[in-house]
Amino acid sequence: MKYILISILSFFYLNSYSQKRITLYFDVNSYELNKTEFKKFSVFMKTKDLKIQKVIGYCDLRSFDVYNDTLALKRANFVSSLIKLIDVNSNFEIEYKGQNFNQDKVSELTRKVEIYFKIEKTLPINITKDNELAEVVKKSKIGDKLVLKNLSFYDRTDILYPESYKIREELLQVLKDNPKIKIEIQGHICCTPGKDEEEIALKRCLGTIEYLVINGIDKSRLKYKSFDATQPIYPIPEKNEEQKKANRRVEILILDK
């Protein structure tokens, strides 16, 4: 329950301030992220057009000032190093405050690092009435399944082709423009019939949902289901790479409007 509350708070910060921020929390006396917070950080770093501006480390009332300042700095440096592993060209401020800040009454909420950031979109995508996806969703009925054209992945991964970013952003905008819509993300793979032992189709579902949630879509509007290779567009084995690419995809099922 503690981490559920913390995650809700962090996403509230993420979407509610002009200067955006996300907060990561630490175990007692630790400067490394636990599994839950590391996953949250990993999801956050997948945000498109992300620009980190500042990282600030904090510590609760653990010991004397030098110890608290050192632990706060270690937390800030640890998170900063993770950011630079993903984006080697990133340039941002690093600060630490030890215990010298307005401490929360809940000690778990004071063992933290705050990441301040902004979204720098070079080519914003505007959904208009002429947009195909927006029109299809508008005309769809509950129970309709939609194939997202050109939303496909590299083989055996949950990584999108660069040309697929646009359709994923369009899906995000459609959900923002239609707040009553609820969908199920359905994942598929190519090439190998039967059970998906590596759970690639599932990872494609989860990666898509993570992208939508980190960019402001309420998780309660999203469900997911993996179909492995049981529902290919083209029969397996496929005849060429184009057919394989079409089969490794996600689709959406309209659950509510």
Please tell me which residue, 170 or 88, carries the higher pLDDT value: 170
Whether residues 114 and 27 fall in one domain: yes
Please tell me which residue, 18 or 60, carries the higher pLDDT value: 60
State the residue range of the domain holding 42: 2-119
Whether residues 154 and 246 fall in one domain: yes
Mean pLDDT of 130-159: 83
| CATH number of the structural domain spanning residue 153 | 3.30.1330.60
Query: What's the Cα-to-Cα distance from 243 to each of 114, 152, 208, 226, rounded to whole Å?
Result: 45, 11, 22, 19
187 found inside a domain: yes
Q: Confirm if 96 and 79 have CB atoms less than 8 A apart.
A: no
With a cut of 60, say whether residue 19 has pLDDT above it: no
Tell which of 85, 119, 153 closes a domain. Answer: 119
The residues, ordered by sequence, that sit 6+ positions from 11 with a Cβ below 8 Å of its Cβ are: 22, 213, 214
Whether residues 165 and 83 fall in one domain: no
Cα distance between residue 169 and residue 49, in whole Å? 12
Name the one residue in this structure whose structure tokens are 């697929």. Answer: 164
Whether residues 100 and 150 fall in one domain: no
Indicate the number of domains in the chain.
Answer: 2
Whether residues 28 and 75 fall in one domain: yes
Whether residues 244 and 147 fall in one domain: yes
Whether residues 87 and 155 fall in one domain: no
Mean pLDDT of 65-84: 92
What integer best gives the mean pLDDT of the chain? 83
Tell which of 96, 119, 142 closes a domain. Answer: 119
- Please give the structure tokens belonging to residue 52: 């980190």
Q: Confirm if 112 and 10 have CB atoms less than 8 A apart.
A: no
Confidence tier at 35 by pLDDT (50, 70, 90): very high
Enumerate the β-bridge partners of residue 93. Answer: 54
Cα distance between residue 209 and residue 216, in whole Å? 11
Whether residues 58 and 111 fall in one domain: yes
Whether residues 37 and 139 fall in one domain: no
- C-alpha dihedral (125, 208, 14, 73), degrees to nearest 10: -120
Please tell me which residue, 18 or 254, carries the higher pLDDT value: 254
Tell which of 91, 119, 147 closes a domain. Answer: 119
Cα distance between residue 70 and residue 49, in whole Å? 32
pLDDT value of position 147: 82
Whether residues 83 and 136 fall in one domain: no
124 found inside a domain: no
pLDDT in tens, 195-210: 778 899 999 999 999 9
The residues, ordered by sequence, that sit 6+ positions from 167 with a Cβ below 8 Å of its Cβ are: 133, 148, 149, 150, 151
With a cut of 50, say whether residue 9 has pLDDT above it: no
Check residue 37 and report its DSSP letter: H
Please tell me which residue, 13 or 178, carries the higher pLDDT value: 178
Q: Confirm if 22 and 10 have CB atoms less than 8 A apart.
A: yes
pLDDT value of position 174: 93
pLDDT value of position 36: 92
Of 95-99, 101-105, 216-220, 221-225, least confident by mean pLDDT is: 101-105
User: What element of type H or E holds 168?
Assistant: helix 165-177
127 found inside a domain: no
Check residue 238 and report its DSSP letter: P
Whether residues 19 and 42 fall in one domain: yes
